[in-house]
Amino acid sequence: MEIVNIIDRLEALISTSLKMPGTQRTLLDANKVQELMDQLRLSVPQDVKAAQEILAKKDDILNQADGDRRRIKAQAEEEFRSRLNDTEVVREALKKSTEMLGEAERKASKTTGQADVEARTKIAEADSYAAKTLRNLERQLTSNLTSIRNGISVLSGIDTYEVIANGKK
């Protein structure tokens, strides 16, 4: 997914950025970080679109199951009408059409249930993935922001120290 690629690029930026000597801090290019954050904002809707496609697929499966049910029911009714002439045939046709109708309804119900479960599972997986990715991103960005702030603080402290040192001479 696009989000994972962007996170990989963010990690690469962090690992290749200038390290502050004597500290655990890293200086980051704010423009590059902002560019990656903008790309993340754009890629999240793609994950939402994937979830919508899953829902559309579910609707297609449900429509197909309903079409199968109607077709089988129509076939059963046609079979029933064609055998109405003979009493024994009528009883047999009634039994057969009832069985076919029951089978069609069971199949449609099973297919509908499976499609619903699959769609719910896919949506839950997509939601879970998006939440996990965003939590990871939040932790990484919080860490980066802390590093940036600490770097600024350290640099501000160095400037102050140099000014004081130069002023005493």
CA distance linking residue 78 with residue 84, whole number of Å: 10
**H-state helical runs in the chain:** 2-16, 30-82, 87-168
pLDDT tens-digit readout, 59-97:
899 999 999 999 999 998 888 777 776 677 667 878 889
**SS3 at position 28:** coil
More confident residue, 41 or 161: 41
| pLDDT at residue 100, rounded to an integer | 92
| pLDDT at residue 80, rounded to an integer | 78
CA 66 from centre of chain: 28
List the structure tokens of 99: 């069985």
Mean pLDDT of 102-125: 91
Mean pLDDT of 142-166: 78
Percent of the chain at pLDDT exceeding 90 = 32
CB burial of residue 25 (10 Å; 0-12, 13-18, 19+) = buried
Q: 88 with 16: CB under 8 angstroms? A: no
| pLDDT at residue 92, rounded to an integer | 80
Q: 6 with 39: CB under 8 angstroms? A: yes
- Confirm whether pTM is higher than 0.85: no
| pLDDT at residue 167, rounded to an integer | 60
CA distance linking residue 18 with residue 29, whole number of Å: 9
| pLDDT at residue 162, rounded to an integer | 61
Residue 169 pLDDT greater than 50, yes or no: no
Residue 56 pLDDT greater than 70, yes or no: yes
Domain ranges of the chain: 30-162
CA distance linking residue 72 with residue 103, whole number of Å: 9
Mean pLDDT of 134-152: 90
Residue type, 96: K
CA distance linking residue 144 with residue 14, whole number of Å: 8
